[in-house]
Structure 1
Amino acid sequence: MQIKAAVTNSKSEDFKIETIQLDEPKAGEVLIRLVASGVCHTDMVAQDQEYPVPLPAVLGHEGSGVVEKVGVGVTTLEPGDHVVMGFAHCGKCNQCLSGHPFVCERFFELNFVGKMEDGSCRHHNHANEDLSIFFGQSSFGTYTVVNERNVVKVDKDVDLALLGPLGCGIQTGSGSVLNRLKPESGSSIVVFGAGAVGLSALMAAKAIGCGTIIAVDVHDNRLELAKELGATHTINGRNVNVPEEVKKIIAGGANYAVETAGVPGILRQAVDSLGIRGVVCQIGAPPLGTDEKIDVNDLLLANKTITGVVEGDSIPRIFIPQLISLYKEGKFPFDKLVKFYNFEDINQAVADSKNGSTIKPIIKMG
């Protein structure tokens, strides 16, 4: 079938909306009509080839939509279902089978190398050349074909256009708190970076009952939003020693920290902001090859922990409905992060994300 898609043809090139060909779903796959897609920093990383996703490609990996058709063997979905699409995983390796699909042994291959699990493509340009798929979903289009395993059925009483970012950025931030750190009620946490991921972590910390929640960023407007969403304190880290400021607020340092900025040097600030037996989640991806200097003796003697987190340690089919329930209860107002754009304005959405004027752009296919 013919569809519209935002195609990335070469490095750092603007998205170009083109008419392309989409194949029918194969066994175990579903055809989805896209309603909307979040725009994530990882899309821009692929667009700029900081991660070498083969081009040309159809990017996008925070899609929401409606199931139109199911392939042979699909048992968990049917036409008409409202769905959110998550990351690709094989479902067969030791990590997937032990409940850790976010570190699937084939994660990089299935999400960044541009092919479906069988090694073929479903998207093709006007010259009948293959277009790489991204995160197994390529949600910057009007339709797509996705493996059943990567699709989460959601309630129909919530605006479907709002839900796409739950598949990546929002579940990454909130999951780092709810699934990995699991802070005790009344405990303290510092969130470095007040973008979509960091603010999702902050909202999760409030929802779970953290007592002291400190947001750190260099943009005052984002810090103001952090206060609205539950931060008890904010720090503009542009001209201050952040660990010292944290310890003025929390004697001895914080119980937990989440680093979402991916800026060299911030992980050291996060570690230095911790108290004894503190734990920091590293979420933000710094440039490849970044060296981070950590005081190993401090790590050892204070019994601190640094842990990496991918996709919020989430099993999407379980976690995304939990986030929607929290949203319905008024405990996770992630709608305050978003701004909607028409599909034709995708390049403006990317620009606004890069300049910080929009925290979480969502493209509506219309």
Structure 2
Amino acid sequence: MKAVAAVLKEPNTPFVLEELDVAQPRPDEILVRIQAVGICHTDLVFASGAMGTNFPLVLGHEGAGEVVAIGEKITKVAPGDKVLLTFDSCGHCANCEAEAPAYCDSFTGLNFACARPDGTSPLSKDGQAVSGVFFGQSSFASLAVAHERNVVKAPSDADLSLLAPLGCGVQTGVGAVLRSLEARKGSALVVLGGGAVGLSAVLGGVLAGCDPIILIEPRPERRALGAELGAHHVIDPAAGDITEAVRAISPRGVDNIVDTSGVVKALEGALGMLAPKGALALIGVPGSLDAVLPVPIVGAITYGFTVKGVIEGDSDPDVFLPQLVEWTQSGRLPLEKIVRRYPFADINQAIADAHDGRCV
């Protein structure tokens, strides 16, 4: 089959819309006609070539669309179903069996290798392979090959252009608060960084009933948006010592911190914000893969705080994505305030706007 895809020929170059050949789904695969796809910071990381992926390459991992065809082993969805696409998992390792697929033993290979487990790709051009299967989907294309583990059926009346970001960024931010930290009603929450994941964490704090919710973000427009979404306090990190500023609001410290910035200096200050038994969730990827966060051992022992790495908001997509859809459709998760739509042909402008903070 033919599909139009946004192809990266080399690292850090513009996406080029090209017609590619897409293989028919194998027995364990699902072919989805993509109607909308979100742009996530992880797409930009892989577009830089920093992860060593082979080019040419098709990215995209917040896809949403309609099932076109299924392999003979597929029972979860049928042609015509609306679906949301998310991260892939194996389904049979200890963590998958414990309903923790975000920590699947095969997560890296299934989501970052940009190839099937046998090394092939369903995408090609003029007989030459194009790297695909990013996050089990590569949904910067009009057709994507996905799998039963990373497809979740959506309601027939779903607005897929609104719901697409649930597949990664939104479930990561909301899930970090509700699932990773299990924030209690009335507990204090700090969110470092007001991008898509950070603002989703603010929304997660609202859903959890956190009080106060404090957003730390350098861009004034995003601080304003964070306040509109439910943050009780917004702080400009350039205005002074952020640890002192948080302690002025919550003298005993805060119970929950979600970092989406990946800035080590900010994280060092965040440790000083924690209340006894508080927890810091690490989501933001730092600028260097060798980045290290020094943890004061005596303080950790004395106050019993936790530093926790988080991926995909500890989501079990079959359970959590339908809940997020319900909250969105009922108005409790106002995604329309952070979603901006672009035609697929304008993907380079959308990437630039996401990179520069002109859209969330």
CA distances 1:291-315 after superposition (whole Å, capped 9, x unpaired): 2233222222111110011000001
CA distances 1:193-243 after superposition (whole Å, capped 9, x unpaired): 011101101101111111210000111110000000000111101131111
Q: Which residue identity lines up with residue 303 of structure 1 in the other structure?
A: G
Q: Which residue identity lines up with residue 12 of structure 2 in the other structure?
A: S
1:204 aligns to what SS in structure 2? helix
Which residue in the other structure is 2:197 paired with?
Answer: 197
Structure 2 CA distance, aligned partners of 1:157 and 1:182? 31
The answer to whether 1:213 aligns with 2:196 is no
The aligned runs of 1:227-246 (5 Å cut-off) are 227-246=227-246
Which residue in the other structure is 1:363 paired with?
Answer: none
Q: Which residue identity lines up with residue 289 of structure 2 in the other structure?
A: L
1:6 aligns to what SS in structure 2? strand
1:14 is displaced (CA, Å) by 0.8
Structure 2 CA distance, aligned partners of 1:133 and 1:326? 29
Greater CA drift, 187-196 or 157-166: 157-166
CA contact (8 A) 2:188 2:212 kept: yes
Which residue in the other structure is 2:6 paired with?
Answer: 6
The aligned runs of 1:72-221 (5 Å cut-off) are 72-221=72-221
Segments of 5+ residues of structure 1 without an aligned counterpart are 360-366
| Percent identity over paired residues | 40
Q: Which residue identity lines up with residue 59 of structure 1 in the other structure?
A: L
Structure 2 CA distance, aligned partners of 1:194 and 1:285? 14
CA contact (8 A) 1:189 1:255 kept: yes
Which residue in the other structure is 2:305 paired with?
Answer: 304
1:272 is displaced (CA, Å) by 1.2
Structure 2 CA distance, aligned partners of 1:196 and 1:239? 23
Which residue in the other structure is 1:332 paired with?
Answer: 333
1:115 is displaced (CA, Å) by 1.2
Structure 1 CA distance, aligned partners of 2:260 and 2:307? 13
Structure 1 CA distance, aligned partners of 2:16 and 2:133? 16
Structure 2 CA distance, aligned partners of 1:157 and 1:118? 37
Structure 2 CA distance, aligned partners of 1:97 and 1:277? 29
TM-score with structure 1 length normalisation? 0.96
TM-score with structure 2 length normalisation? 0.97
Q: Which residue identity lines up with residue 312 of structure 1 in the other structure?
A: G
Q: Which residue identity lines up with residue 73 of structure 1 in the other structure?
A: K
Segments of 5+ residues of structure 2 without an aligned counterpart are none
The answer to whether 1:42 aligns with 2:42 is yes
CA contact (8 A) 2:30 2:146 kept: yes
Which residue in the other structure is 1:349 paired with?
Answer: 350
Greater CA drift, 151-160 or 290-299: 290-299
Structure 2 CA distance, aligned partners of 1:258 and 1:270? 9
Q: Which runs of 4+ in 1 moved over 4 A?
A: none
CA distances 1:329-366 after superposition (whole Å, capped 9, x unpaired): 2211122111111111100001001111111xxxxxxx
Structure 2 CA distance, aligned partners of 1:179 and 1:14? 37
Which residue in the other structure is 1:280 paired with?
Answer: 280
1:150 is displaced (CA, Å) by 0.9
2:239 aligns to what SS in structure 1? coil
Structure 2 CA distance, aligned partners of 1:247 and 1:191? 14
Which residue in the other structure is 1:321 paired with?
Answer: 322
CA contact (8 A) 1:55 1:132 kept: no
1:127 is displaced (CA, Å) by 4.3
Q: Which residue identity lines up with residue 123 of structure 1 in the other structure?
A: L
